[in-house]
Chains A and B, each alone.
Chain A
């Protein structure tokens, strides 16, 4: 089926070519980082994780959100999602690949990557993150590919595929939960040490992931013959609305527990992030998150703006960007500031770091494009 990705018009090949150029630039910067060391990044002794691990965190959520299509379709027989489930699964595949690549580019000694498998360490959450991410990748590749194969042949998917689909539902929850445990299990990092972190990760992901998927599908609809059923859009925007409301509620819970208790170490994180105490790097981003979060929630809650294609699209973009500020930028960096000495060391990504990240995302988009191209071609053939 993969050969279907080799047929396309000029625009398709132009898109592929520009992705390859961006990947190439990112790769050149990565080679530079390999030679010089991670000193070329803005990371430092106090903020030891930054842009890369932030993208890992955000993209794990995007991957996990595929379950928001899989679950209604397979467990509740929500037929409107029928033709879209495959796109959710393929988005998950590319998102997980992006996650794994971000882990690799973040390592100081990437050629020793296999040590994680050669010396399996069950007491490390990172070991389990590796297990669940790779497992989820294989699950979605196998499920997506075999379901598509069945569509092509005009038969029902084999029963073992059904079993894998049911397995994939809790598995999706596990990838974001385990990723949250990376942070929530550390002593002395007060901003992360939060039993609700996994739950708030999931609620944020179940809003931002479907928002991204819907935006991508609207683009796909423009450039191909895909038709998104109106009912599917309505269900998805409702899912996004509820998940987003819960996510913002959890932000308020954190702020309450820090400030009402007057717990200094907990307040210090928010003082820095929202108040700029000790540095102003993240403050504008946090307030943008609040603005985007509140306005998008209003647009999504009000039925007339939720069902209006223009305001809905604006709301989806806002949710996606706010989700990125929250998980992709401020969560990881904010957790390190102030440091264990209550000193504020700031971090900001450097040019190599940004280009490497953009390159990794371009790899994800390339995989996504190829998989979507195949899926669209197969669905078109089976319909005719």
Chain B
């Protein structure tokens, strides 16, 4: 059947009418239901913490022992249902390692004893130019406008290309079903399934509720979190005053985790 212009216009007009009427009817019967079915809008929650560019500073002078770090790690891992899997198939969002491992290119024979022996915190660097986002074939890992590098665990196919791409070893893969390895499951945060990649998200779930990241809260001032784009923010003030290092700057990933020395 061929459709001429007249029939087409009639059909188009009728469908538009039906659409408008349908919309009106929906608004009458279930107000707000149509809006609710759309994509959620960021910034809907008045209490949410927002920034143009989130960044984290790690004050290594305040972090001197593994115990202090452990509080931050526990806060993070308990809150996000990160499983305890022994061996080299482990999951970790936040952990510590030595200076020579965290900064392999800064290593020399005369590094001060304090630096050499103290643990350094490692986590996702939420890069401005993240290789993991570039290589992901399904957009399961993506960067938000405020700089947080996110994981969509429902989109991830488990190809682990992001793990090959990340030069900071910040990504973990669920080689096993993680649930049996979680001591007490926190019902307020989803657990993951086997076969997907996960990592630190700068606690975007807490930011949305107006809370600082769990590790920052547990650190008693040793971790500073804030908006790098805002000149008056604390992170900017501290970075103006103190010397800081970033991991592997020569790779051009532009990490947004700064180590205050």
Q: What residues make up the interface of A, taking CB atoms closer than 8 Å to B?
A: 36-39, 41, 43-46, 48-49, 103, 106-110, 112-113, 115-116, 119, 121, 123-127, 130, 182-183, 185-189, 335-336, 339-343, 345
User: Is there an interface contact between A121 and B131, defined as CB atoms closer than 8 Å?
Assistant: no
The 9 A-B residue pairs whose C-beta atoms are closest, nearest first, are A108-B158, A108-B195, A188-B167, A39-B175, A44-B88, A37-B194, A341-B101, A126-B137, A48-B163
Q: Which residue of B lies closest to A41 (CB)?
A: B175
A-contacting residues of B (Cβ < 8 Å)? 87-90, 97, 100-102, 104, 131, 134-140, 155-161, 163-169, 172-177, 193-197, 248, 251-253
Residues A187 and B253 in contact, CB atoms below 8 Å apart: yes
- Establish whether residues B169 and A112, one from each chain, have CB atoms under 8 Å apart when the complex forms: no
Inter-chain contact total with CB atoms closer than 8 Å: 138
Least CB separation from A43: chain B residue? B175
In the complex the two chains form, is B137's CB within 8 Å of A342's CB?
no
- B163 and A342: CB pair below 8 A? no
In the assembly, what is the distance between CA of A182 and CA of B176, in Å? Answer: 26
Cβ–Cβ contact B157 & A108, under 8 A = yes
B169 surroundings in chain A (CB, below 8 A): 45-46, 339-341
**A188 and B100 contact, CB distance less than 8 A:** no
Residues of B within 8 A of A110 (CB): 157-158
**Min C-beta distance of A108 to chain B, whole Å:** 2
Output the least CB separation between B112 and chain A (Å): 20
| B253 to chain A: closest residue by CB | A187
CA distance A345 to B89 in the complex (A): 11
Query: Is B176 a contact of A39 with CB atoms below 8 Å?
Result: yes
* Contacts A/B (CB < 8 Å), 5 sampled: A38-B158, A48-B173, A108-B174, A186-B167, A187-B251
Contact of A116 among B90, B104, B138, B196 (CB under 8 A): B138
Q: Is there an interface contact between B157 and A343, defined as CB atoms closer than 8 Å? A: no
Contact A108 B164 (CB under 8 A): no
Q: Which of B135, B137, B196 contacts A108 (CB 8 A)?
A: B196
Chain A residues lying within 8 Å of B136, measured Cβ to Cβ, are 121, 124
In the complex formed, the residue of A with least CB distance to B167 is: A188
Least CB distance, A5 to chain B, in whole angstroms: 34
| A125: contacting residue among B90, B135, B157, B158, CB under 8 A | B135
Partner of B173, one of A103, A108, A116: A108
Q: Given contacts A39-B176, A123-B134, A124-B137, is CB(A107)–CB(B159) below 8 Å?
A: yes
Residues of A contacting B196 in the complex (Cβ-Cβ under 8 angstroms): 108-109
Closest chain B residue, CB of each to CB of A188: B167
